[in-house]
A and B are shown apart, each in its own frame.
Chain A
Amino acid sequence: MSRNFLKTVIFVIILSLFVSSLLAGCGKTKKTISNGIKYPSNGEVYPMETDATLSVWGMSSNSSSTSLESSPFGKKWQELTGVTVEFQQPMAGTNGSSEGLSLLIASGDLPDIIISNLYNQPGGIKKFADDGVIIRLNEVMDKYAPNLVKYLNENKDIDKMVKSDDGSYYMFPFIRGDEILSVSSGPVIRKDLLDEGGLAVPETIDEWYVALKYFKERGADAPLSYDFASWEKLGVFLGAYGVKADFYVVDGKVKYGYLEPQMKDALSNLKKWYDEGLLDKNFIKIGDLDSKILTSEACASVLFAGSGLGKYLSAMREKDPKFNLVPTKFPVLNKGDKPMFGTKEFRYVPNNNGFITTACQNVELAARFLDFGYSEKGHMLFNFGIEGESYVMEDGYPRYTELITKNPEGLSMSNVMVKYMRASMSGPFVQDKRYIEQYYTFEQQKDALKLWSETDTLKYNIPMVSFDEEQSQQLSSIMNNVKTYVDETVFKFIMGIEPIENYDKFVSQLKALGIEKAIEIYQKAVENYQNR
């Protein structure tokens, strides 16, 4: 047995070596130097005619089944621009992109274009430029990216966010074309139950208290069930008191929520709710939110419009048609006030931005390729897909076809959209609000966008600042310890384990951990930003 076994094994090994070396050839980068780009004779830019190819790394999607090169979107993108693209798509998801990016750079084998989020990397975008990974785009844009330049000129507020402190441009940004696209999450409450009790949808903290008490009496075990740590960074219920669990700017001065006196009141309020059983006992780590909401154990929460609100509404549509989860405005202290904070984001989003690397031999081609997303044709492709297949024009309005909305194979809207367009993801283009108008099918979702937008948070949020490498390292060192301490201590105040009178000790400990230095760093960055 042994001799033959050995022979078989050796044979298999040799065979596999052979096969794998064959397959190794599949991934090689083909780099051809362009012998010029020929533009169409009618004065248009696209489709271009060229022998050159571009290698594009990144552009993560939310579905692993879509490899860009075989998806209708990827094929159309190449067809309309006239460029043959080698898509390099490592595993998507947070692990894949960050490690993958570092490894890519360390390998020294850069592609022509990187489509990824470089803003959130330590040292920010500038570091990649200083390290010689990406090129400065100012001259390139002026010559070869007229569509993007036009958009930035017409939208000076976006322009300020996109360029760096010293006026340099580095990316082809992802931009939300309308304010309404900038918000996707917020507080929700069971209106059907409120109606039964004769209560209106709450707007102030006091009204919320009454509503939650009503739910509790009705038998709900955890009337308000939401994840404190993630949502209060944005200031949902804390925001009513004018603070949130993060850094923000008031009149040009950077503040850290936990150092402010109003935070004590905000936490006392939550403590009151906790003591009276109105807040989920497991608010530190909510489990089973799905079943809690569907069985009315929880009657209010903070959710995403699609994956939260939409999911529950469609789940209960048949089971209990009366079930009505509606969005509410962010709570305030006094009726009529405008909420100071909220979940609205800036219209410039750093995800899946396009960058041209220093390894690119044909910058003109790369810039034209990336600029396509901002052109008329590109805008339609990225937002609505392929005319005749994924959308049709109805009186000038791009209407998604049933392929998308009622997919015959039973795929969900977001899964099929990813094959044809990028509207539900991000990329180098301007997102069109007509996408969201059709993506959110429930009235409640459409209302949500309006209600959740009504905040001043963009005035108070920290703007799109950048730090240099040293500041970035210092900041993260301090914040890692601060965050651990904060997370551990704040819940103790709410649960009463630590008396709220000791709040001042908490503040001094924060200062001992270096929070004031962190505020200083932010302050400088904000000032640099204002001077752009």
Chain B
Amino acid sequence: MRYKKGKIISMIAGEKSKVYIKDLKRNYSLYLMALPILAFYILFHYKPMYGVIIAFKNFSPAKGVIGSEWVGIKHFIDFFCNPYFFRLMKNTLVISLSTLVFSFPAPIILALLINEIRSKWFSRIVQLIVYLPHFISLVVVCGLILKFTSDKSIINDIAVLFGHERVSFLNHPKYFVPVYVISDIWQSAGWNSIIYLAALTSVEQQLYEAAIIDGASRWRQTLHITIPGIAPTIITMFILRIGNMLNVGYEKIILLYNPVTYETADVISTYVYRKGLIENSWSFSTAVGLFNSIINFTLLIFANRLSRKINEISLW
């Protein structure tokens, strides 16, 4: 009788629900722990998400989200059809990819190098100092960049020694991206290396000991123990970075660019920012943001899938 009942229930409710019920019974305290976290996301992220529809309306604060009139995809058309669209996309991608290729590995390499320092106190001092630029406000950093790239600066003095002419770097479109990327490395490598340093401490000491017994050099140890040991961290950070591909922020560029360098420096966010200075373009910037998000999210899913296939490391 009992056997039959169970079979009937599972026939009615489906095999799957049996699995769910078993899972609930087993993990209920885990799910309970998750409640405050889920509550947070529902309350502060999902509840206000309806605002995305502003992208399809002509939003006016007085009329509110519901009361503002629909304009369909007008803002998207404005964005795609404006004469600078291709340039903005190109510049955004160039800056983003350059940062990815050069600025992403830098903190990893730095962490590995710091890891090699034998002297503990020297290591601590290095760590303490290299993270400092992160804390200097962007305005000061850009002021310093302007000083160092001017045609009277030390860098130009050195260039003259090598036989080059004096150049005011930020007045030439072709130098904008290199200046941007190099200064980005300088400002963020130290700070970003912290997470990798933390990951390094969790690599098992015993693996190193075994490798040394086998006669492996430090370089081979790094290649076969250290890097695989922090690989999950690296790959996770990489995937997240890909998910930010179109997010090139406007603040730093605004401080560094000028009309001379628009052709390589003007990105999506700076264009939207300038538009926002002339009008309260809530809807337009939401539309552009939505466009960015969709592309970023697609890239993220793609990167995550790839990572799962290759390394079995995935975000979900």
**A/B touching: CB–CB < 8 A:** yes
Tell which of B17-25, B90-98, B256-264 binds the partner.
Answer: B256-264
Is A9 among interface residues, defined by CB-CB distance under 8 A?
no
Is A282 among interface residues, defined by CB-CB distance under 8 A?
yes
Q: Is the CB of A284 within 8 A of B78?
A: no
Q: Is the CB of A131 within 8 A of B60?
A: yes
By a CB distance below 8 angstroms, the chain A residues around B214 are: none
A285 to B255, CA, bound (A): 10
**In the complex, what residue of chain A is closest to B87 when comparing beta carbons?**
A484
Q: Is the CB of A131 within 8 A of B62?
A: yes
Q: Is the CB of B171 within 8 A of A282?
A: yes
Residues 136-159 of chain A, each 1 if its beta carbon lies under 8 Å from chain B, else 0:
000000000000000000000000
**In the complex, what residue of chain A is closest to B259 when comparing beta carbons?**
A487
Q: Is the CB of B278 within 8 A of A480?
A: yes
Q: Is the CB of A102 within 8 A of B282?
A: yes
Q: Is the CB of A287 within 8 A of B258?
A: no
**How big is chain B's contact interface, by range?**
20 to 34
Q: Is the CB of A131 within 8 A of B63?
A: yes
Residue from the list A106, A229, A473, A483 in contact with B61, Cβ < 8 A: A106
Is B168 among interface residues, defined by CB-CB distance under 8 A?
yes
Q: Is the CB of B279 within 8 A of A481?
A: no
A291 to B168, CA, bound (A): 18
By a CB distance below 8 angstroms, the chain A residues around B279 are: 122, 472-473, 476
By a CB distance below 8 angstroms, the chain A residues around B170 are: 285
Is B83 among interface residues, defined by CB-CB distance under 8 A?
yes
Is B233 among interface residues, defined by CB-CB distance under 8 A?
no
A229 to B64, CA, bound (A): 37
**In the complex, what residue of chain A is closest to B143 when comparing beta carbons?**
A287
Is B224 among interface residues, defined by CB-CB distance under 8 A?
no
Residues 266-283 of chain A, each 1 if its beta carbon lies under 8 Å from chain B, else 0:
000000000000000110
By a CB distance below 8 angstroms, the chain A residues around B147 are: 287-288
A222 to chain B minimum Cβ distance, whole angstroms, is 11
Q: Is the CB of B83 within 8 A of A513?
A: yes
Q: Is the CB of A132 within 8 A of B274?
A: no
Is A14 among interface residues, defined by CB-CB distance under 8 A?
no
A242 to B279, CA, bound (A): 29
Which residues 228-283 of A sit at the B interface, judged by CB distance below 8 A?
A: 229, 281-282
Residues 273-293 of chain B, each 1 if its beta carbon lies under 8 Å from chain A, else 0:
011001111100000000000
Q: Is the CB of B62 within 8 A of A105?
A: yes
Residue from the list B60, B61, B151, B278 in contact with A479, Cβ < 8 A: B278
By a CB distance below 8 angstroms, the chain B residues around A229 are: 259
A121 to B61, CA, bound (A): 12
By a CB distance below 8 angstroms, the chain B residues around A282 are: 150, 168, 171
Residue from the list A102, A128, A285, A479 in contact with B280, Cβ < 8 A: A102
Is A133 among interface residues, defined by CB-CB distance under 8 A?
yes
By a CB distance below 8 angstroms, the chain A residues around B274 are: 480, 483-484
Q: Is the CB of A484 within 8 A of B84?
A: yes
**In the complex, what residue of chain A is closest to B270 when comparing beta carbons?**
A484
**In the complex, what residue of chain B is closest to A102 when comparing beta carbons?**
B61
By a CB distance below 8 angstroms, the chain A residues around B83 are: 481, 485, 513
Is B82 among interface residues, defined by CB-CB distance under 8 A?
yes
Q: Is the CB of B280 within 8 A of A121?
A: yes
Is A98 among interface residues, defined by CB-CB distance under 8 A?
yes
Is A178 among interface residues, defined by CB-CB distance under 8 A?
no
**In the complex, what residue of chain A is closest to B151 when comparing beta carbons?**
A281
Q: Is the CB of B62 within 8 A of A477?
A: no
Which residues 262-316 of B sit at the A interface, judged by CB distance below 8 A?
A: 262-263, 266, 271, 274-275, 278-282
By a CB distance below 8 angstroms, the chain B residues around A287 are: 146-147, 150
By a CB distance below 8 angstroms, the chain A residues around B282 are: 102
Task: From A473, A480, A481, A491, name the one whose CB has the most chain B CB atoms within 10 angstroms.
Answer: A480
Residues 168-179 of chain B, each 1 if its beta carbon lies under 8 Å from chain A, else 0:
101100000000
Residues 234-255 of chain B, each 1 if its beta carbon lies under 8 Å from chain A, else 0:
0000000000000000000000
A167 to chain B minimum Cβ distance, whole angstroms, is 23
Residues 130-174 of chain B, each 1 if its beta carbon lies under 8 Å from chain A, else 0:
000000000000000011001100000000000000001011000
A282 to B281, CA, bound (A): 32
B3 to chain A minimum Cβ distance, whole angstroms, is 45
**In the complex, what residue of chain A is closest to B263 when comparing beta carbons?**
A488
Residues 442-478 of chain A, each 1 if its beta carbon lies under 8 Å from chain B, else 0:
0000000000000000000000000000001100110
Residues 37-81 of chain B, each 1 if its beta carbon lies under 8 Å from chain A, else 0:
000000000000000000000001111100000000000001000
B82 to chain A minimum Cβ distance, whole angstroms, is 6
A12 to chain B minimum Cβ distance, whole angstroms, is 15
Q: Is the CB of B168 within 8 A of A98?
A: no
**In the complex, what residue of chain A is closest to B63 when comparing beta carbons?**
A131
Q: Is the CB of B171 within 8 A of A133?
A: no
**In the complex, what residue of chain B is closest to A472 when comparing beta carbons?**
B279
Is A103 among interface residues, defined by CB-CB distance under 8 A?
yes
By a CB distance below 8 angstroms, the chain A residues around B60 are: 127, 131
By a CB distance below 8 angstroms, the chain A residues around B168 are: 281-282
Q: Is the CB of B64 within 8 A of A106?
A: yes
Q: Is the CB of B258 within 8 A of A285?
A: yes
By a CB distance below 8 angstroms, the chain A residues around B63 are: 131
Q: Is the CB of B275 within 8 A of A480?
A: yes
Residue from the list B151, B171, B275 in contact with A476, Cβ < 8 A: B275
By a CB distance below 8 angstroms, the chain B residues around A477 are: 78
B273 to chain A minimum Cβ distance, whole angstroms, is 11
Given contacts A102-B282, A287-B147, A472-B279, contact A481 B84 (CB under 8 A): yes
Q: Is the CB of A133 within 8 A of B258?
A: no
By a CB distance below 8 angstroms, the chain A residues around B263 are: 488
- Top 7 closest A-B pairs, CB basis? A131-B62, A487-B259, A106-B61, A285-B258, A476-B279, A105-B61, A476-B278
Listed by A's residue number, 17 A-B pairs whose Cβ atoms lie within 8 Å are A106-B61, A106-B62, A106-B64, A108-B64, A121-B280, A127-B60, A131-B60, A131-B63, A284-B171, A287-B150, A473-B279, A480-B271, A480-B274, A484-B262, A488-B259, A488-B262, A488-B263
Residues of B within 8 A of A (CB): 60-64, 78, 82-84, 146-147, 150-151, 168, 170-171, 258-260, 262-263, 266, 271, 274-275, 278-282
